[in-house]
């Protein structure tokens, strides 16, 4: 047996492949990729130029090529696909699982897409793709594949096994056999295990399980994830408004959705606007970061303008400037903590939530406690260091107010964003920091002005 620790792609291997492409050494290429899993071949191709990748892919079996193409990173997909004629692409696309085929077709231009579809010979694949293209990408319909195994409830085990034999060629992983009536309406499911253990003449209608989780084509991605994760499902049948079985969502696609959602959240939290990776170009990396930096700078300039109004106060008590970072940093931290907790709650909609008023009271409670602790420490240090009583009081009052206000702001912002249909994780990013900086400074200088001068 082969102990498959993940295939290690070495620079050396990539270089030898490149040389083989240059020398058109077909045998070497085919030999060295034999037995390498499609997901690993994809990784190798991502290291090559598009024309080299195409040369290699065209040497391989179309079904294998289809799997490799399905696994290819989005970043390299577009220039890569541009190397192909519509007809060449159609030959590979019709071998892909229908959901992967549609994902790929959605990346290319409308014109090219129509041409590729027109060139697909396999009528079933063509119909599947045309059908799936109707659904919004972010819905259950956009996630599902058409490939699944279904059996009429009137069939017996022998007939069903024969049907599986015919359908199974297109279906990589079976999971359950879906039982339907004469109008393709979903009735329930039979597992392969039960099929294997049942007597030959048993009717499917007598052994199927009528309880089955389903989801409708227009459910959101998030609902799909929620249902599949909550019930530990590896496949979820999708039905249309009339209860007809139209597709199936598999767990691998759900994992991709979960991973992408986590990445989006991470990007939003850190102020990176695109889906970038470290090995993207300097230009792409700069562009992905500049928007938030410029917005942050705008906040900083507003703060500068604001503090400028207090220049006279600062000239009298320059020590006032010293606590600016303390106020802004604490406000930022408190706001971030609060918003993150709400984002987490929003991502977990199945749990029963306490009423809004209770949630806000708790936010106040936590802020009150934490504000007290922080103030006690800060006041102690300030006194110990011989800071004036008055300035110490100003810092403490401002700090306490900032902790309270930032907590509320951090709690409400993601709720409002969610209502507006914006990813609430946006609130955990530079956004809340900027708002809190300005809020904190306003409180601090207002208190100082009132108490000290």
Q: In this structure, are residues 185 and 245 in contact, taking their beta carbons and an 8 Å threshold? A: yes
Give whole-number Cα distances, 61 to 43, 126, 167, 383, in Å: 18, 20, 21, 78
Give whole-number Cα distances, 155 to 149, 162, 243, in Å: 13, 10, 20
Structure tokens at 368: 């009150």
Neighbours of 11 (CB within 10 A): 8
Residue (361 or 422) nearer to a copy of itself, CB: 361
* Structural element, H or E, at residue 74: helix 74-81
Give whole-number Cα distances, 140 to 100, 134, 215, in Å: 14, 12, 7
Three-state secondary-structure class, residue 178: strand
Provide the pairing of β-strand 150-152 with 176-180. Answer: parallel
Q: Phi, psi (5° rounding) for residue 209?
A: -95, 120
Residue (210 or 421) nearer to a copy of itself, CB: 210
> In whole angstroms, how close is the CB of 373 to a copy of itself at the nearest point?
6
Residue (336 or 409) nearer to a copy of itself, CB: 336
State the Cα–Cα distance between residues 247 and 134, nearest whole angstrom.
Answer: 13
End-to-end CA distance of the chain: 82
Residue (91 or 247) nearer to a copy of itself, CB: 247
Q: In this structure, are residues 74 and 44 in contact, taking their beta carbons and an 8 Å threshold? A: no
* Structural element, H or E, at residue 347: none
Residue (324 or 412) nearer to a copy of itself, CB: 324
> In whole angstroms, how close is the CB of 407 to a copy of itself at the nearest point?
10
> In whole angstroms, how close is the CB of 50 to a copy of itself at the nearest point?
17
Give whole-number Cα distances, 10 to 7, 15, 16, 47, 73, in Å: 9, 9, 10, 10, 18
> In whole angstroms, how close is the CB of 295 to a copy of itself at the nearest point?
9
Residue (130 or 290) nearer to a copy of itself, CB: 290
Q: Whose CA is closest to 404, among 447, 357, 438, 371?
A: 371
> In whole angstroms, how close is the CB of 94 to a copy of itself at the nearest point?
20
> In whole angstroms, how close is the CB of 88 to a copy of itself at the nearest point?
25
> In whole angstroms, how close is the CB of 183 to a copy of itself at the nearest point?
13
> In whole angstroms, how close is the CB of 174 to a copy of itself at the nearest point?
5
Residue (43 or 125) nearer to a copy of itself, CB: 43
Q: In this structure, are residues 46 and 11 in contact, taking their beta carbons and an 8 Å threshold? A: no
State the Cα–Cα distance between residues 212 and 325, nearest whole angstrom.
Answer: 57
Residue (25 or 243) nearer to a copy of itself, CB: 243
> In whole angstroms, how close is the CB of 150 to a copy of itself at the nearest point?
14
Residue (130 or 377) nearer to a copy of itself, CB: 377
Q: Quote the strand ranges of 323-445, DSSP E.
A: none
State the Cα–Cα distance between residues 119 and 116, nearest whole angstrom.
Answer: 5
> In whole angstroms, how close is the CB of 20 to a copy of itself at the nearest point?
19
The upper half-sphere exposure of residue 136, i.e. CA atoms within 13 Å in the direction of its Cβ, equals: 9
Radius of gyration over alpha carbons of the chain, in Å?
30
> In whole angstroms, how close is the CB of 26 to a copy of itself at the nearest point?
23
Residue (90 or 363) nearer to a copy of itself, CB: 363
Residue (123 or 211) nearer to a copy of itself, CB: 211
């Amino acid at each position: 047996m082969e102990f498959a620790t993940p295939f290690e792609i070495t620079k050396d291997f990539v270089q030898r492949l490149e040389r083989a492409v240059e020398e058109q050494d077909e045998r070497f290429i085919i030999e060295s990729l034999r037995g390498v899993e499609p997901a690993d071949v994809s990784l190798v191709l991502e290291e090559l130029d598009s024309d080299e990748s195409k040369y290699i892919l065209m040497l391989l079996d179309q079904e294998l090529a289809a799997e490799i193409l399905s696994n290819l990173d989005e970043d390299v997909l577009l220039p890569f696909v541009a190397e192909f004629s519509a007809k060449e692409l159609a030959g590979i696309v019709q071998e892909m699982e229908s959901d992967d085929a549609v994902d790929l077709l959605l990346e290319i231009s409308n014109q090219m897409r129509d041409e590729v579809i027109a060139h697909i010979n396999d009528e079933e694949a063509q119909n599947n793709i045309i059908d799936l293209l109707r659904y919004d990408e972010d819905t259950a319909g956009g996630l599902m594949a058409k490939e699944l195994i279904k059996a009429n409830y009137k069939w017996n085990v022998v007939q069903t096994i024969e049907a599986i034999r015919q359908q199974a060629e297109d279906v990589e992983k079976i999971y359950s056999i879906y039982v339907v009536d004469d109008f393709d309406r979903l009735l329930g499911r039979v597992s392969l295990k039960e099929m294997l253990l049942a007597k030959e003449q048993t009717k499917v209608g007598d052994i199927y399980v009528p309880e089955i989780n389903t989801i409708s084509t227009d459910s959101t991605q998030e609902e799909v994830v929620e249902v599949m994760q909550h019930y530990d499902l590896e496949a979820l049948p999708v039905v249309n408004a009339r209860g007809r079985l139209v597709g199936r969502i598999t767990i691998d696609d759900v994992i991709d959705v979960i991973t992408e959602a986590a990445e989006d959240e991470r990007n939003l939290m850190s102020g990176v606007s695109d889906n970038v990776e470290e090995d993207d170009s300097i230009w792409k990396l700069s562009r992905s970061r500049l928007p938030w930096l410029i917005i942050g700078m705008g906040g900083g300039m507003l703060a500068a303008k604001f503090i400028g109004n207090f220049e006279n106060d600062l000239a009298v008590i320059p020590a006032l400037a010293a606590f600016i970072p303390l106020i802004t940093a604490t406000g930022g931290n408190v706001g971030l903590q609060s918003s993150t907790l709400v984002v987490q709650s929003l991502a977990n909609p199945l749990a029963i939530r306490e009423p809004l008023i209770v949630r806000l009271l708790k936010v106040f409670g936590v802020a009150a406690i934490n504000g007290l602790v922080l103030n006690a420490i800060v006041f102690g240090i300030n006194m110990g260091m011989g800071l004036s009583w008055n300035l110490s009081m100003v810092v403490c009052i401002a700090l306490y107010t900032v902790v309270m206000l930032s907590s509320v702001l951090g709690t409400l912002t993601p709720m409002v964003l969610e209502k507006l249909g914006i990813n609430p994780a946006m609130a955990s990013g530079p956004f809340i920091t900027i708002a809190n900086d300005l809020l904190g400074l306003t409180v601090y200088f207002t208190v100082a002005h009132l108490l000290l001068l």
